[in-house]
Structure formats: C-alpha cells, structure tokens
Amino acid sequence: MLAQPWEWIILLIVVALLLLFGPTKLPEFARSIGRAMGEFRRGKAQVERELRDELARDEGTEVGASRDQVLRAARELSLPSEGRDMKEIRLDIARQIDRVEPPVVVAVAKSFGIPVEGVSSQSLKEQIIRRLQV
C-alpha cells in the first residue's frame, strides 16, 4: 500500500529532526515546543479577554461585578465574607461555582444580574467567572 504525500512529508520531518537534534535532544525539543504553544495560547486568551473587556467598556455595559453582587453571591454559596478581602471572596466563588448544583448556579447568576432564561448551567458558570474577573 502506497503512503499518501502528507505521510511522506511527516516521515521526512521526523527523520530531519532526528538527524538535526539526535534522539537524546528530541524530547527536550518537543517539550520546548509544547511550552511555547502553551505560552501562545495563554497570551492569545489574555488578548481576547482584554479586547472583550475594552469592547464592553466602550458599549457602556458593566464588565465586573459590584461589591454587593459579590457579597450576595458569597451568601448564596454559603461562603464566609466577614473580614475577608474582596479578591479572596471572588476567588472562592470562582472555585466553588463548579461544585454546586444547577439551581444554586442560577441563584448566583441572578445575584450578578445575569439573565438565566434558556441558558445552560455551564454557560452561566462561565459568565459568572467572567463577571468576577479572576
């Protein structure tokens, strides 16, 4: 059975990499490529987040949650808020939201003023986390 042209190209690339780097350096090379790809994805996500926030600010919509909304959400999740920094409370809400049942997710979304009709629980969780800006 004859190989397809793209299969030959992949084979030639692998052979070239082995000749250039040798079998001992190839895993290190692959790790560095994986790290670079991860950094690229993180950078891309950060740029997208900044663009989305900037567009939301330009449209005049509220990007982040107010202090009262965060405290109401903490109460819905039975999280302590007395004497705690708002950043810690926001992080706790973000951590806890994946562990709760859909009715609680809906209640938390309502405390942030997020429309809940016809929206999946997973989508609500994502909107809550975006609103928390963590």
CA distances in angstroms from 27 to 18, 41, 58, listed in the order given: 10, 21, 46
> Based on the domain organization, do 97 and 44 belong to the same domain?
no
- Model confidence, pTM: 0.53
- Report residue 27 as tokens: 């895993």
Please report, as a single letter, which amino acid is at residue 123.
S
Cα dihedral angle (87, 129, 134, 57), rounded to 10 degrees? -100
How high is the pLDDT of residue 103?
92
Stretches in the chain below the pLDDT threshold 70: 1-3, 56-63
Domain boundary residue among 43, 62, 81? 62
Q: Is the Cβ–Cβ distance between 114 and 131 less than 8 Å?
A: yes
Domain that holds residue 35: 1-62
Domain boundary residue among 35, 62, 89? 62
> Based on the domain organization, do 17 and 32 belong to the same domain?
yes
How high is the pLDDT of residue 77?
92
